[in-house]
Amino acid sequence: MKLFSAKEMQRLDRVATATYGVKSLVLMENAGRGAAECIFETLKEKRFKRAVILCGKGNNGGDGYVIARHLKNMGATVSVVSLCSLNALKGDALLNALAWKKMGGETRVALSKAALKKAEMDIVHSSIVVDAMLGTGISSNVKGIYKDTIELLNELKKRVMAIDVPSGIDATTGKVLGSAIKACCTLTMAAPKTGLYLYPGREFAGRVIVIDIGMPKMAIKKAVTGTSLIDYEYVSEHVKPRKKDTHKGTYGHVLIIGGSVGKSGAVHLASLGALRSGAGLVTMAVPESINEIIEIKSTEAMSVPLTLTSSKQLGSSALKEIEKNLKGKDAVVIGPGIGNVDKGFIEGVLIACRRKRIPVVIDADALNNLDGLAEVLNECRKGLKAIITPHPGEAGRLLGVSSKVIQEDRSESSLKLSKSGAVTVLKGASSIIADGNEIAINPSGGPALASGGTGDVLSGMIASLIAQGKSCVDGAKLGVYLHGLSADELSKREGEVGISATEIADNLPRTIKSLTVQ
């Protein structure tokens, strides 16, 4: 599903008017009516159908006046509070404010804290508050009466339904612009906005409902955006029931290189992720010092012991053994629990994978052993198919910035990482998959994933899906979505606390089955 930035949405509005002849006033009318219908469904559950609508001076406020008119016609008691003088309104917003006035609707103007205080009792006694203050047009911090109103609503903890985006949320990045409305639901117009699916915006948006405003479907279909949402429709197209006449060789062979003393669990969890997501065969290449442990822990996966250097690290001898074991492999994971290795070892594995044209997932300690993105970039330029899976801290180290900088604009950070030529999975809440100029946001997953080893399971899953024939991009998207969905299903049954990585891996067959039942 396409997601739209603020600028992309403005462009779509212009196309609807200039190319398809749909007047902006018609779009606003449809937006307000559609939102009012959703709001009234909520009001029907209330004993007193009282709504307070907070309107700003732009088109978001114009939507608010249309909503007020339709809610009044539906039988609700409606109060409108304007955070600007009516003289400040222009265009479609002014026309709808006048229409509200002509049908007997009253508007309380609140330009100061004192005036807002007078409107506070209306807000307190309302069943629902409608946020039609700022919308998608803002890009700087909220100030003045808008900031005061947002803080009052959040303090009162009223049930708020936001129009288009919660006021104070950047529609493109999801960033909180100083202060932002904490909505229970966001009624977004025509198409979903990127900032509603990126944290912290996702947390402030609540449930997101897209309102059909009469935007030509062809205009939306033709619109070029740089962002999409991994949704059920996409996943169900790629996850199909298996044919009856198949065998283990049909579903690929994954080689996982990792493990070290004290971290044998990481490579084992990666193997579980690969097996439970459908790989036909899995082999773990591990330091000889932990091979016996791995053989005891793993029943279905095979293992290969790797010779260590005199300093007890993986080096050139192990690299030669890995090159031999690349024969017949369809995907490689390198990194889970691998610890420190001899300089050049990781790069040597990447060169071998590139030479044999085997896609490789570079995860965890392997990323930390690389000298920034330069080594990945050099190999990708020569034809290496790679997927990197950094968390914000690892991403920051690769780009030479702090994790805080990464989190401030996760979309841009993931795109910078993917310029290496490697498909990038920037892990975290709303994980992002970037491939050159485009990104995909994952909606699944939550707090249940906040435990050790879940990233190792994910790396194994991505390699497994690639070994089964998916492209690097599709393997990354599907892996992240299924990984999060498995955790979500467990959370519903068990709660969010104490879910282990092993449980998430073991639940994958059930998760995949839920998507393949006809």
- Could you tell me if 221 and 194 are in contact, meaning their C-beta atoms sit under 8 angstroms apart? no
Could you confirm whether domain 232-370+446-516 is CATH 3.40.1190.20? yes
Task: State whether the Cα torsion 122-124-125-129 is positive or negative.
Answer: positive
Question: How far apart, in whole angstroms, are the C-alpha atoms of residue 267 and residue 434?
Answer: 25
Output the pLDDT for position 518.
54
Ramachandran angles phi, psi of 492, nearest 5°: -65, -35
CA atoms within 13 A on the CB side of 491: 15
CB environment 123-151: b (16+ within 10 A), e (fewer): beebbbbbbbbbbbebeeebeebbbbbbe
Q: At what angle are helices 91-102 and 24-43 packed, to 10 degrees?
A: 50
Output the pLDDT for position 380.
84
Domain residues of the chain, as ranges? 2-226, 232-370+446-516
Question: How far apart, in whole angstroms, are the C-alpha atoms of residue 263 and residue 336?
Answer: 8
User: Which of these CATH numbers, 3.40.50.2020, 3.40.50.10260, 3.40.50.1820, 1.10.10.10, describes 2-226?
Assistant: 3.40.50.10260
pTM: 0.92
Determine the distance from the C-alpha atom of residue 420 to the mean position of all C-alpha atoms in its chain, rounded to a whole number: 21
Output the pLDDT for position 47.
77
Query: Low-confidence residues of the chain, pLDDT below 70?
Result: 517-518
